[in-house]
Amino acid sequence: MKLRKLSAAAAIMASGALVLSGCTPGDDGENGNGDANGGADNGDANDVVYGEEGDFTQEGQAYIGGEPTDGTRVDLPEDFETREDTIVTSPGGVPFVNYNNDHTLANSVNNSVVAAQIHSGFWYYGTDLSINQNEDFGSFEITEEGDTVYVEDEDGEPEIDEETGEAVVDEEASTSYVIEYNINDEAVWSDETPITVLDYKLQWASQAYDEDAGFEPSGATVALYLPEGLEAEAYDSKTFTAEMPAFNADWQLMLSGPGQPAHLIAEEAGMTPEELNDAIDEGDVDALEEVAPIWNTGLGHHGEWDENQTLSSGPYQLAEWNWEGEETGGSVVLEPNENYWGTPPGTETLIFQFSDESTHVQALENLDYHVVSPQPDEDVADALRGLADSGDFIVHEGDTATWEHIDFQYEQGPFADTPELAEAFALCLPRQEIVEQIIQPINPEAEVLNAREIFNYQDGYDEFVEESYDGRYDEADIDAAAEIIEEHDAEGTDIQIHHFDVPRRSAMVEIIDTYCGEEGAGFNIVEQADANWSPGDEGWEGVGLFAWAGSGQIISGQNIYSTEGNQNTTGYSNEEVDRLWTTVADDVSDEERTEALIEIEQHLWDDLHGIPIFAHPGMDASDASIANVRSTAAQTQIHWNAEQWQRYE
Amino acid sequence: MLKYSLKRFGSTIIVLFGATLLCFPLLSWVGDPLEDLRYDTDPNAEFLMQQRIDFLGLDDPWYVRYWDWLSGVLGCLDPTNTVLGECDFGTSIGGSNVTDMIVNAAAMSLRLVLVATLISIVLGIGIGIISAIRQYSTFDYFTSFIIFLFWSLPPFVAAIIGKEYLAIQYNNWMGDPRFSAGNILLMAIILAIAVPIVMGGSTARRVITGSIMFVYTCTVMPLLDHMHFMEHPRIGPIGLLVLGLMLAVGLTALISGLKNRRVLYVALGVVAAAMISYYATWELLRQIPGGYLLLIGLFVLTIALCVIGARLFGGYAKGQATVVAVVTGVLMSALILLDHYMYSWPGLLSAKPRPVRTIGAETPNLQGDWWIHSLDHITQLWIPSLAMALMSIATYTRYTRASMLEVNKQDYIRTARAKGVEERTVVLKHAFRNSLIPLATIVAFDFASLIGGSIIVERVFGWNAMGQMLITGIQNADPAPVMAVVVFTGFISVLFNFFADLIYGVLDPRIRVS
């Protein structure tokens, strides 16, 4: 009886359900709340060509507008349009922290990578470290050749300043060089205010008055090399000139993007652009003190921003800034800058998400990211090649501007006591073996680097090396090394190898040990792995194993190899080299400069300052359906031409 | 109780104070906050170094800096910001406001750890009890094997495997989610073997259960496939009603026995009320003003109504009726919520064709309403939570099993059995409840250690929570973020120990009495 009651209750509810089921809430019969197929489609696709393996192309990579033949940007077709699509990429874990990329706390590669998309400038680095003028933005050239006269010593050689290591300029006798800059008439900020000389003047002032007015710039080169500032007819001129009292071989690098919108900063500081202009011209520190905090962080930093203030001078502008803290994480969403006067960007939404490199391979496989640049090692290389085998992904293999080398310490230790031992160490150093075992698993094309001032992927490398180096250390020669060691009665001498405790370098030390150690030439190799070691530390002995990150500057080596150079930490000194650097830095023809560099290299080989080993391999990967992705040797990373990326399928 | 709580709160403050007093000087003696600048070749480095020295007050002794820091943090005890000043956890070396950082990071960590803890409590205790009841059965041996596997699996390996199969492969499959005949057959065979092992019983019963499972799977999966369930899932009113009835009957059978009609009617009443509110709240929930707050409000209201209803209509079985009503109500709410999420699933798929990303806590630039964003959070959350939960599941399972077996040998259990109490009551009321007491302590401890231990999972999944904050802070020798993490983790661990104490009281009447 009771059981029957129960089933009756159930039956009533069930029949109720039948009535109800006719009207499931939200069931409009056509699943109208979304299209599960997703994806955007956008009319005609551009024609693409597929790359072959080459110096500037990657096999299988698609290019819109023709296969690139040099390190410059791809020549996009006239009718190139923005495609309604999203591309997500990650430059690594460090987030974008400041709209002002010149601020000292924004001085990270990732900040520059994002900033490069919201700003454009006079020039950019090509994939082979070439410096290319950006004609969309404007042009610049030396209009007045000056003459740099150096103070001479008794022998008629240029006198070297003992503090800076640079040649002393005779200011009275020298005349200045004048560089003229022309900004494209159409160049405007995203609020349609023209980009003018005032923007550059503010950039100059931020360095010239940094401590006085409270600016916090990340560098000081503009104010250092252009002490007189910038000259223009009016504060809103598109043409301006800069006086360079002493020639600087890297003059092209001094000014690029306009940095911050000066008109907006002036407005925020409660002054007119004219007043800001006057304050800069007169060096009015009191007025500039008002401007400095706005220049530093006032227009958008640490995720606090206002779309009316983060103005763009480039193809993209900030659309969203998901801030998750300054260590890592978060993302930046970019949208096209409608007032950009040049070629429109390739993709409607470009997202930079900041996550650790170790997450990149799986993220690419899951298409969370479409372009990634993980830290290359053997496992990553294998995983990426495995992905590429499917044909859906492209691996971009190449070299970077970072080069591994050893330096001999001549101030103390075995090489200070017996400099001849450096020759023995150089002879037994198995450079070929190191490259084969350590680097070729990542980049099968890798080869030993035989120069310090030019990379093996740059034009003219072969000719350069032919003249500067005779191949004496190509093959490890244990017997010859052992002979020298015996001659100096130095069997079992401790040779410390210092490095920053990186697994790859420990593996290198192991290889060196089999050739130069007790089993080989007869040294006693002692590994000194310390994450806190720095070549600048006092008192280290033996050999330093580390890498220099090349910046594309011509005279950066002067700091390392000249007697008084800031980065000369091994006591190397050769007067001839010091003099030759002065020639390199001077206003000479490219041939003369190359000649001088070759001579420097010859000395560096003869004196055994150190030995280059290899250029660090770079490894990037991308979704094969995205065109125009190109890796680069410059620090701008694979994102250097992100505004040209576009899905073509 | 109030006095006890206040006493606990007071001691919490003292414990936290001690912890900070210990950590701050240790932190200020270890590491060099200027390290990166010392090796900087920038001519500006001197200036920057001085800037940072002034900023961090490095010229002052540690106790002066500690006091500066403490006076800011003490402001957090004063919600009005008048007596003790503003709540301020200081500023990091990079110039970020640490108060914002910790709020952000804590929200992420808590989300991750809460879900991981929930998963591990439910799975761990459930598996633990069944393997204790079926000691030395195939199920027991099999779960022991799996559990030890989980235990020995490093979290980052689990995370990477999870990404490969639960994200990448799943997303690939979701591109065209079809069950092939092979899939269906495999699934049917697995279920036909697994379900009888869990259910137990005689050989004949196992064969019958297995066959039913096999036939059931072979019918339902093609049906779901035909309905495109993976792209357009719905429970719908019929599903809800059927599941509701099953819940009502099942829970009643489990807790009071089907003979207790009062309880059964209350449970059925709850199901009926849930069906009505399913329709009544549909539009409200689609608009969802207030987001999670509305959900929590409705949830609390549901529990309150269930309790009131059970008290009114429960009669002689008030106690059991309340339990059954509340559990039914909670599970029905969960089902209704699930139906809402399912309704938004196609929307998520169109905004995010590969629904599970391997990176980050949310998808940047996702277009959609609250439900789509919430679904996005869930899809991003569940793999890292699972990876973190694995080890806790293992722990909880082993503890529950051991504790359950221990309790089962007690005299009072034997007495209960001898008196002829039903096996169901013996297990649920006497054995299970008492075996939970040691577990409460472990869960409380585990919660705090999960927060600290989440760093690896955070890194693998590109989350930016407290583990990350702690590690970067230590690397930079940056006191403010590290101290913020110490204070927060300390607070959470003390808080959860407090909860554990409260739960002891509920579980063990002897503690309540004293």
Report pLDDT digits (tens) over B218-269: 999 999 998 889 889 999 999 999 999 999 999 998 888 888 889 999 999 9
Which DSSP state fits A644?
G
| Cβ-Cβ contacts under 8 Å, A325 against chain B | 96, 101, 104-105, 464, 468-469
User: Do residue A359 and residue B43 have CB atoms under 8 angstroms apart?
Assistant: no
**Residues belonging to chain A:** 649
Closest Cβ opposite residue B96 in set A26, A302, A365: A302
Specify whether the CB–CB gap between A73 and A335 falls below 8 A.
no
Work out the minimum CA distance from B173 to partner chain A, whole angstroms: 12
Give me the pLDDT at residue A479, please.
92
Model pLDDT, residue A192: 93
CB A222 within 8 A of CB A255: yes
Q: Which residues have C-beta within 8 Å of that of residue A140, sequence separation ≥ 6?
A: A122, A123, A133, A179, A180, A181, A182, A252, A255
User: CA distances (Å), A586 to each of A245, A458, B215, B293, B298, in order?
Assistant: 12, 22, 87, 70, 78
Q: Decide: A32 and B245 in contact? Cβ < 8 Å.
A: no
Which residues in chain A show pLDDT less than 70? 1-46, 162-166
Q: Shortest CB distance from A104 goes to which of B44, B234, B468?
A: B44
pTM score of the predicted model: 0.84
Q: Does A219 reach chain B within 8 Å, measured CB to CB?
A: yes
Q: Given pLDDT bands bounded at 50, 70 and 90, which one contains residue B399?
A: very high
Does residue B151 or residue A107 have the better pLDDT? B151
Task: For A185-272, list the strands marked E by DSSP.
Answer: 230-231, 239-244
Distance from CA of B471 to the nearest CA of A (A): 10
User: How far is Cα A111 from Cα A570, in angstroms, rounded to an integer?
Assistant: 33
Average pLDDT of the residues in B376-382: 93
Amino acid of residue B420: G
Best of B38, B40, B44 to mutate (most A CBs within 10 Å, chain A): B44
Q: What is residue A39's predicted lDDT score, i.e. its pLDDT?
A: 42
Nearest to B469 among A9, A325, A362 (CB): A325
ipTM given for this complex: 0.83
Has residue B142 got a pLDDT over 80? yes
- Tell me, rounded to whole angstroms, the distance of Cα A119 from its chain centroid: 16
Min Cα separation B84/chain A (Å): 27
- Distance between A62 CA and the closest CA of chain B, angstroms: 24
pLDDT band at B358 (very low <50, low <70, confident <90, very high): very high
Distance, CA of A352 to CA of A371 (rounded, Å) = 10
- Residue A26 has what pLDDT? 65
- Kindly state the average pLDDT of the residues B73-102: 78
Count of all residues that appear for chain B in the document: 514
Mutate to test the interface with B, among A320, A359, A532 (most CBs of B within 10 A): A359
In angstroms, the Cα distances linking A575 to A120, A160, A604 are 42, 10, 12
* A107 neighbors A96 (Cβ within 8 angstroms): no
Q: Which of B164, B357, B365 is nearest residue A368 as measured by Cβ atoms?
A: B357
B274 CB within 8 Å of a chain A CB: no
Which 3 state secondary structure label does DSSP give B190? Answer: helix
Q: Nearest CA to CA, how far is A88 from chain B (Å)?
A: 9
Q: Is the Cβ pair A33, B344 closer than 8 Å?
A: yes
Q: Pick from B430, B428, B443: which is nearest to B397 by CA?
A: B443
> At residue A412, what is the residue type?
Q
Pairing of strands A371-372, A83-90: parallel
When mean pLDDT is compared over B147-161, B461-475, B491-505, the highest value belongs to B147-161
Burial class (CB in 10 A: 0-12, 13-18, 19+), B289: exposed
Report how far residue A9's alpha carbon sits from residue B454's, in angstroms, rounded to the nearest whole number. Answer: 50
pLDDT score at A42: 45
Please answer whether residues B400 and B122 qualify as being in contact, where contact means their C-beta atoms are separated by less than 8 angstroms. no
CB of A325 less than 8 A from some CB of B: yes
pLDDT at position A358 = 87
Q: Determine contact: B160 vs chain A, CB below 8 A.
A: yes
Average pLDDT, chain B: 87
Find the CB nearest A326 among B47, B92, B463.
B92
A302 touches chain B (CB under 8 A): yes
Instruction: Provide the pLDDT for residue A79.
Output: 87
pLDDT of residue A607: 92
Considering CB atoms only, which of B94, B261, B459 is closest to A105? Answer: B94
Q: Name the closest residue on chain B to residue A302, using Cα atoms.
A: B96
Q: What are the two backbone dihedrals, phi and then psi, of residue B273, each rounded to the nearest 5 degrees?
A: -60, -40
Strand order in the sheet with A543-549: A316-322, A331-336, A347-353, A83-90, A371-372, A610-623, A393-408, A543-549, A494-499, A524-529
Q: What is the pLDDT of residue A388?
A: 92
Q: Which two tokens stand for residue A506?
A: 């420990």
Query: CB under 8 Å, gap of 24 or more: what pairs does A590-597 form?
Result: A593/A249, A593/A554, A594/A460, A594/A464, A597/A453, A597/A454, A597/A464
For B:276-335, CB contacts with A below 8 A are: 278-279, 282-283, 286
Residues of chain A found within 8 Å of residue B350, distances taken between Cβ atoms: 34-38
